[in-house]
Structure 1
Amino acid sequence: MSTLAGRVPGIVDAHAHFFDPRTPPWSLQRLGRASVPVLKALPRPLIRVASRFTDEHSLSGIAGPGRLSASYRLREYAKDLAALDTVAGVPVTTVIPVDSQWRRRLSPEEVPGAVTRDLDFLRRLPYGDGLPELGGLLVPADDRIPGLGVADALDADVDGLIRGFRLRWGRHHDPLVHDWTAESDPLRSKNFRDAFGPLADRGLVFESLCYSHQLGELASLASEYPKATIVVEHLGCPVGVFGPFGSSVGTTAAARADILGLWRERMAMLAARPNVHVKISAVASGLFGYGQERSGNIGGQHILADMIGPLVLHVVDRFGPERVIFGSNAPLDTHNATIGVVVGALLDVLGDRGDYLLSHLFNDNARRVYRITDQ
């Protein structure tokens, strides 16, 4: 079996979530996955209303059932990495934690304080000393706020750890797929337009979380701002590409073929913009329709490799080895696949593509894009 030993000095995990639901800014609902059948039986107009009283994070594929009700810090992350050495042959040496504010219903007035608390929490975690080092921080942006709510975090960045800003702007027609914004066209909103250019001019990376049908809008933004560095999260989020999801997405083979075809087209559009990079992350996400059997897992490493192979190879072939970045998305998908299984599946798909690609995917590109320096 192919490993990274002797090929990559260590893995940079550019997408992991750390949180503690017992403390602000996290406030979690916990009725769980049991409510999914009930919701699906409701008339479509009532699904969104009812989902407000359930564990919307589990229902919308953001996390496994109950995952967000328990603390996840570096100690838990290290346990999840324990089996990685056997698969990869090298450890995770550096991690970039991504904000974990899944609740979108904070008022605009509450957001700056929540962002500050989130970033302070991430800064204070005990990195190093046998655990991965901190590679940098991303500010969660909010399209409802002038300046996207990023300015205060930048002003307080005395340690120079902020590397970019992250906007979750996905909107989906299916009522059981989470909408991150109420704005119909967030990348064209006044708040976004007024803030984006100045933030990009400061060298900050723009992290985009949207769904695959929205990627054309992102391609237009990349063309308009060719000097801005843009990172597309989670392979562009082709919801339902592996199987049925939500109330009606990907329910037939023909529907899944349409999702894949549109995704391939939009990713090719983005690849033509040299300032766009892609995170190969969340590959075992429930959003993709993976892990929807009753057991919570549809297979192991080799089945996952077979499913993600066409997507990963399309991205690598289109974007090239210097514009792809690995992220585990831990712990949100670990109910479907451990970090070791995810890395092993990627090695099954890409192991014969050569050391240059593997080194750039798992280490070099993240260090360059996020300006990670040796500790």
Structure 2
Amino acid sequence: MDLTDLDIIDAHIHQWDPRATPRAFSKLATLSRLLPLPIDLLAKLAPPRDRQFVGDPTAYTRAYLPADYRADLGDTSVDSVVHIEVEWHGWRPDETRWVASLPFGVDTPALATIIGSADPAATDFAAVLDAHQSASPRFHGVRSMVAHHPDPGVKSFAPHDGALTAPAFLHGFEQLARRGLSFDAWVYSGQLPEVTALAERFPEVAIVLDHLATPAGIFGAVGKHTGRTAAERQHLFDRWRDDLTDLAAQPTVVAKVSGLMMPILGHPVPPRGTPTPVATLVDRIGPMLTHAWSVFGADRLIWGSNFPIDRPITSLTGAAEAVATVLTEAGASPEELRKVFGGNANRVYRVDSSA
């Protein structure tokens, strides 16, 4: 199907300016400005797990703003975007306020929804939610950085697993239900049972599984001991498949087909500026996406580009074309593709209720 036939909502993008706002990678951006070294040489100063996660650190050393996203779009037409929090350090509602101030909707897609950062386990969680809502009427949910991997060579964003089932987290999570806010769960695939348990406990909260749970190493070796052999990768796929099936039994959970080009999945990183061919991506992500389609169906899948994080592997158009091709081959009709590429995001992220 031609992408121009779709009214696309890109349900997962990131905006940042690491030199002017407090990000986890602001030090790298500052260092790149102070040291006149080639970016690949500068990257060697970072821990190996960070280098492997990003694939190409270029985007993390400079601003990525609406005009940059527009440039990445090329000829692809996107009506609106959903901004997802990204490693803001400091008072988290300030990121929501900053994103709301960016020049979206001028000669760029409109800003549909903001998913901000907040930790349900924090004692001030309710106050943080109130501040997010005051910062922008487009704030409709939160994401917490809870992705943790047992391989120490794979970059983790939380000190341990079990965050989604901890008593303090569960106590705070009730605040989302009271406010009608959604929760984006970004986890590694080994944490999928935690997401299932959370959905069972809070069926009144819309939970969005980001990136199909990022099964690190499913396409190739990463970290110290993940995805090293074909047998290991098959075992990883089998466990991911079974756990995703269990999660799909929870009717209020939707899965986001985003981040499928993240380097941490084990994609070979091509030379800078040479995106992986779409046909190669279709073959690579096909089994994952076909299974997600079979268990979640047309009404509970949402597409997002995850740009600029997926850029080292593919172009934004290539990412969208690969997903559309796999789903079409799996039997998706044009109307069902319209749901995945826009309609479902409109419903789950309450786009029509944004001011």
Secondary structure (helix, strand or coil) at the match of 1:135 reads: strand
What are the equivalent positions in structure 2 for 1:199-348 lying under 5 Å apart?
Answer: 199-292=176-269, 299-348=276-325
Deviations 1:191-237 (A, max 9, x none): 31111022123211110011001101111111111221110000111
Q: Cα gap change, 1:203/1:11 in structure 2, threshold over 3 Å: closer, same or farther?
A: same
Distance 1:293 1:4, change over 3 A: closer
**Does residue 136 of the first structure (1) align with residue 113 of the second (2)?**
yes
Residues 1:356 and 2:352 are matched in the alignment:
no
Equivalenced residue count is 341
1:92 alignment partner, one of 66, 78, 90 = 78
Matches of 2:16 and 2:49, distance apart in 1: 14
Cα distance, 1:234–1:94 mapped onto 2, change above 3 Å: same
Q: 1:70 to 1:35 in 2, by over 3 A?
A: closer
Other structure's SS at 1:157 match: helix
Equivalent residue, structure 2, for 1:42: none
**Residue 173 of structure 2 corresponds to which residue in structure 1?**
196
Deviates more, 1:350-359 or 1:272-281: 350-359
- Name the counterpart of 1:28: 27
From 3, 9, 13, give the equivalent of 2:10.
13
SS of aligned partner of 1:28: helix
Task: Pick closer, same or farther for the CA change 1:35–1:72 going to 2, 3 Å.
Answer: closer
Counterpart of 1:25 in structure 2: which amino acid? P
Q: Which residue of 2 aligns with 1:157?
A: 133
Percent identity, please: 30
Q: Which amino acid aligns with 1:17?
A: H
SS at match of 2:144: strand
* Distance in 2, Cα, partners of 1:126 & 1:63: 29
Q: Deviations over 1:212-267 (max 9, x none)?
A: 01101111111111221110000111110011112221111011001100100010
* Contact 1:285 1:336 (C-alpha < 8 Å) held by counterparts: yes
* SS of residue paired to 2:133: coil
The whole-number CA distance in structure 1 between the counterparts of 2:117 and 2:207 is 15
- Give the alignment partner of residue 61 of structure 1, picking from 53, 57, 73: 53
Residues of 1 paired with 2:274 and 2:147: CA distance?
A: 26
Q: Secondary structure at the match of 1:78?
A: helix
Mapped to 1, the partners of 2:86 and 2:303 lie a distance apart of 18
56 and 127 in structure 1: CA distance in 2 versus 1, 3 angstrom threshold: farther
Conservation of the 8 A alpha-carbon contact between 1:58 and 1:64: no
User: In the superposition, relative to structure 1, how do residues 83 and 180 fare at CA in structure 2: closer, same or farther (>3 Å)?
Assistant: same
Aligned to 1:372: 351
Evaluate the alpha carbon distance shift between residue 289 and residue 297 of structure 1 in structure 2; reply closer, same or farther with a 3 A threshold. Answer: farther
The alpha-carbon distance between structure 1 residues 151 and 269, as it changes in their structure 2 partners (threshold 3 A), is: same
1:258–1:132 distance in 2 versus 1, CA, 3 Å: same
Equivalent residue for 1:73, pick from 65, 68, 74: 65
Q: 1:56 to 1:17 in 2, by over 3 A?
A: farther
Question: Which stretch shows the higher mean deviation, 138-147 or 291-300?
Answer: 291-300
Contact 1:58 1:66 (C-alpha < 8 Å) held by counterparts: no
1:160 offset after TM fit, Å?
Answer: 1.8
Unaligned runs of 5+ in 1: 39-52, 85-90
Local SS of the residue matching 2:53: coil
**CA distance 1:143–1:166, change in 2 (3 Å):** same
Instruction: Could you tell me which runs of 5 or more consecutive residues in structure 2 were left unpaired when the two chains were aligned.
Output: 33-38
Change (3 A) 1:134 1:63: farther
User: Post-superposition shift, 1:20?
Assistant: 0.5
Deviations 1:244-297 (A, max 9, x none): 112221111011001100100010001111011100001111011013466796
SS of equivalent to 2:171: helix
Residues 295/70 of structure 1: CA separation in 2 closer, same or farther (3 Å cut): closer
The one-letter code sitting in structure 1 at the alignment partner of 2:338 is S
- Structure 2 contact 275–312 (Cα < 8 Å) conserved: no
Q: CA deviation at 1:372?
A: 0.5
Letter in 2 for 1:12: I
C-alpha distance in structure 1 between counterparts of 2:48 and 2:142, whole Å:
25
Deviation at 1:12, TM superposition (A): 0.3
2:59 is aligned with what amino acid? R
